[in-house]
Chain A
Amino acid sequence: MQTVKMVVTGPFSAGKTEFIQSVSEIDVVSTERKISTAAERSVKEATTVAMDFGRITVDEDLVLYLFGTPGQKRFDFMWEILSEGMLGFIVMVDSTRPETFREARSILETFRAYAPTPYVVAANKQDKDDAWDLEDMRHALRLDSKTKFLPCVATDKATVKSVLLELLYSILAEMESGE
């Protein structure tokens, strides 16, 4: 059995677990814990402390694993471990929480430094009224025009598929350009 992996990262409560849950054929193996601080508890009740783990079986010989990183900074020691051997990564950003954009940028830069693998950035919760426009977010996140920045709703399988496909297209394009 051959396995490949992709990493879904992003700030606390960006929607990484939901993203994986939308396409995983197994219930996401989630290592969630109750939130300890009041400020974080006001955003959600539980958070991922080690990693999320989803699976998509391609055929009898090939399986794609999706790993979600813990969003809280104090677990960032897990990031490098999870990024080892990844095909590419997705940075999830909550479009309704501009206070997390700086952290998202920092996470993106950290992962870019770990490995020269392709990546895409997904603007989650684009269905919400208070979601930022993609162009405004692109500026705030300081993404250049070449970086794929995609609208997403982590609970909507179609948009999650579209994000995964764009990442795979980038991986394929990079392989072809490197020949």
Chain B
Amino acid sequence: MALRGNLRDFTITQLLNLVNLAQKTGTLVVDGPSEQAYISFREGKLAYARVGQDDGSLAAVLHKANRLTVNQYRAIVERAGKITDKELGLLLINAGYLTQEEILLNLQSYFTEIIRRLFTWVEGFFRFEGEMLAPEDRINVRLDLENIIIEGSRQLREWEQLQDEIPSLDMALKFTDRPLKNVNLSVEEWRVVSYINPRNTMKQIALTNKMNDLDVRRIVYGLLQAGLVEIVRPEGMVIPISPKTFPTQDKEEQKSLVNKLIGRIRSL
């Protein structure tokens, strides 16, 4: 039977566990909330991963990890033409610029980071394509899934707790009366704090700071616990009251109706 379904019913951690136990080879395609991810496995081990618009090429991975400067990256993209990642890797190793181990570690860390991102996806569809193997022109790794699964389970528990605390990112934040003095905040926390305003939803703050839902919830949770902020409805955002709320759209009639209700409840 085809391995496909909804992340609501079958989490990424459960999927990785299944791939690991069944020692599967193929690619897990996940259609997330706004992007698509491809995670390839070989005999139950992580081989390759790519998400969204990232091309997942070796040059891009090394550039993201600050192992290649912007100019070096551009030069490779422009001049190296159709060189494969394997060929590029060999060139870099032969030039003494990077070791084979460094290249593999950077790729492993990049692929693991993609899976960490997937742990925050609770909505979306997945399918496992047994025929779809990791791209041949890319360097594949062989990474055991156990540690990733344990990390994912831990993160899932944290995610569930944070979702209980902050169920909706469509709400905004405002500072409480406590002064924001002598508080030690990390760079990430300051980035969130700098956008706190009843007009900005948490979703907007996350988007502006390029944070995922888990990251922004984690930071907001800390600020809430410290009593520095509170959750408020976004100012200026018109959330239409359902027309079903009142049987009439006339304001005076609506008020009269509420007064009638007050009178009736008093008389009970």
B258 near A115: Cβ-Cβ < 8 Å: no
Q: Inside 8 A of B263's CB, which chain A residues have their CB?
A: 58
Q: Roughly how many angstroms separate A147 CA and B41 CA in the complex, as a whole number?
A: 52
Contact (Cβ within 8 A) A106 B164? yes
Q: Indicate with 1 or 0, residue by residue over A1-29, a CB within 8 angstroms of chain B CB atoms.
A: 01110000000000000000001000000
Q: Roughly how many angstroms separate A161 CA and B168 CA in the complex, as a whole number?
A: 31
Q: Are A59 and B260 in contact (CB under 8 A)?
A: yes
Q: Which residues of A contact B (CB under 8 A)?
A: 2-4, 23, 56-59, 62, 64, 84-87, 102-103, 105-106, 109-110, 112-113, 115-117, 142, 144, 157, 161, 164-165, 168-169, 171-172, 175-176, 179
A165 close to B233 (CB less than 8 A): no
Query: B258 to A172, Cβ gap below 8 A?
Result: yes
Which of A105, A165, A176 lies in contact with B265, CB distance below 8 A? A165
Contact (Cβ within 8 A) B233 A116? yes
Chain B residues 163 to 202 lying within 8 A of chain A, measured CB to CB, are 164-168, 170-171
Could you tell me which B residues sit within 8 Å of A by CB distance? 164-168, 170-171, 224, 230-231, 233, 239, 241-248, 251, 254-255, 257-266, 268
Please determine whether A56 and B245 come into contact, CB atoms closer than 8 angstroms.
Answer: no
Interchain CB contact under 8 A, A85 and B266: no
List 6 interface pairs A-B (beta carbons < 8 Å), by A numbering: A2-B248, A23-B268, A84-B244, A112-B233, A168-B261, A171-B258
Asked if B251 contacts A179 (CB within 8 A), the reply is: yes
Q: Can you name the residue of chain B whose Cβ is closest to the Cβ of A114?
A: B168
Given A116-B233, A161-B268, A2–B247 Cβ distance below 8 Å? yes
Q: A85-B245, A113-B170, A116-B233 are in contact. Are A103 and B164 (CB under 8 A)?
A: yes
